[in-house]
Structure 1
Amino acid sequence: MVIGLQELMKVKDQKEDHKIKSSWIIVFFALFILMGCKQNTDHTKSETSTSTTMEGQDLPTIDEVQKAVTAFNKVMVNPTAELMETLCSEELTYGHSSGLIQNKDAFIDDLVNGPFDFLSLEAADQTIHISGNTAIVRHIFLAKGTNAGEPVDVRIGNMQVYQKGKDGKLRLLARQAYKLPS
């Protein structure tokens, strides 16, 4: 009878262990869900605080962003270092569809002195999204030009990020081009 009672106690202990483990799983699952909700709440607060920090600053409009993109594209066709200096942020990161990444100085030098010469440039299917003092522009970058004297047609995807400074001017902060499917 003692052996039977010990076996019964073991089974009872195993059932209690299983219940405890199941309870912990439920507790961890509930915490996981709450943490996810907390992250979503914090994200919203982050967006709100970004808007608040821009208070008093004149935020960009769609029209201003379109004008900045047009001005930038015109200077790409007839580049001068002085004009590019005014249109680009000091922190510029300029990504090409080839994977090459340039800072402001390298980009301007390459544009002004490099082998590629833009003859025309168009930004097709353009969309603009504004968040605080930053604008995200997407378009199809269509260009005709020459590369080391040889004619070239360019059709790539393009994303640009413009940021409005405290001086009220929009400047290109980042650009990334990417190859489009054929």
Structure 2
Amino acid sequence: MIKKLIFAMSFILAITISAQKINDKDAVNAVAEKLRLAMISGEKSELESLILPELTYGHSGGHIDDAKEFVEKLVSKKSDFLTIDITNQNVSIVGNTAIVRHHFYATTADAGKAPSDVTLDILLVWTKVKNDWKLLARQAVKSEKKK
């Protein structure tokens, strides 16, 4: 009897944990989409609501922004994304950390320059703070993949 009860409790716990990971993956996908849209709009309050103050944001050219610089560049249009398309997104959850990888294809018009295209592979690290996912780190590398 006790063995059956322990087995049943273990089964219920496993299902609950599995369901939570699925819900977390959905939430991370949703917050990643909010980030994509905020990077296009350059809306300061939306950008700030998605990141941690400790953000480290690595560009494919080697420059690393902190949270303040990341937001300022997008708000001022120094980094101006006209479009961002994301493909092949993969989300892995490890405890309160989400690792997101995706292919990033964008059209930019940085600081008023003529539009140009950028193709990158991105690694995002999100952390769960209370019930919200916040961006802690991002690293981009140049990619040869086409849209």
TM-score interval, normalised by the smaller of the two chains: 0.7 to 0.9
- Tell me the SS of whatever aligns to 1:155: strand
Find out whether 1:165 has 2:115 as its counterpart.
no
Q: Quick one: which of 96, 101, 105 aligns to 1:138? A: 101
- Tell me the SS of whatever aligns to 2:80: strand
Residue-by-residue CA offset, 1:73-104 (whole Å, 9 max, x unaligned) = 00111012111110001110000001000110
Shift of 1:114: 3.8
Which residue in 1 is equivalent to 2:3? none
Q: Does the CA contact (< 8 Å) of 2:107 and 2:116 recur in 1?
A: yes
Across the two proteins, how many residue pairs are aligned to each other?
124
Separation in 2, partners of 1:90, 1:65: 19
Gapped regions of structure 2 (runs ≥ 5): 1-19
Find out whether 1:105 has 2:68 as its counterpart.
yes
The TM-score with structure 1 as length reference comes to 0.64
Q: Quick one: which of 94, 97, 115 aligns to 1:151? A: 115
Root-mean-square deviation (CA, aligned residues, Å) is 1.6
Runs of 4+ in 1 over 3 A off after TM superposition: none
Separation in 2, partners of 1:61, 1:115: 33
Shift of 1:129: 0.6
Q: Does the CA contact (< 8 Å) of 2:90 and 2:102 recur in 1?
A: yes
Please say which structure displays the higher CA radius of gyration. 1
Higher strand fraction: Structure 1 or Structure 2? 2
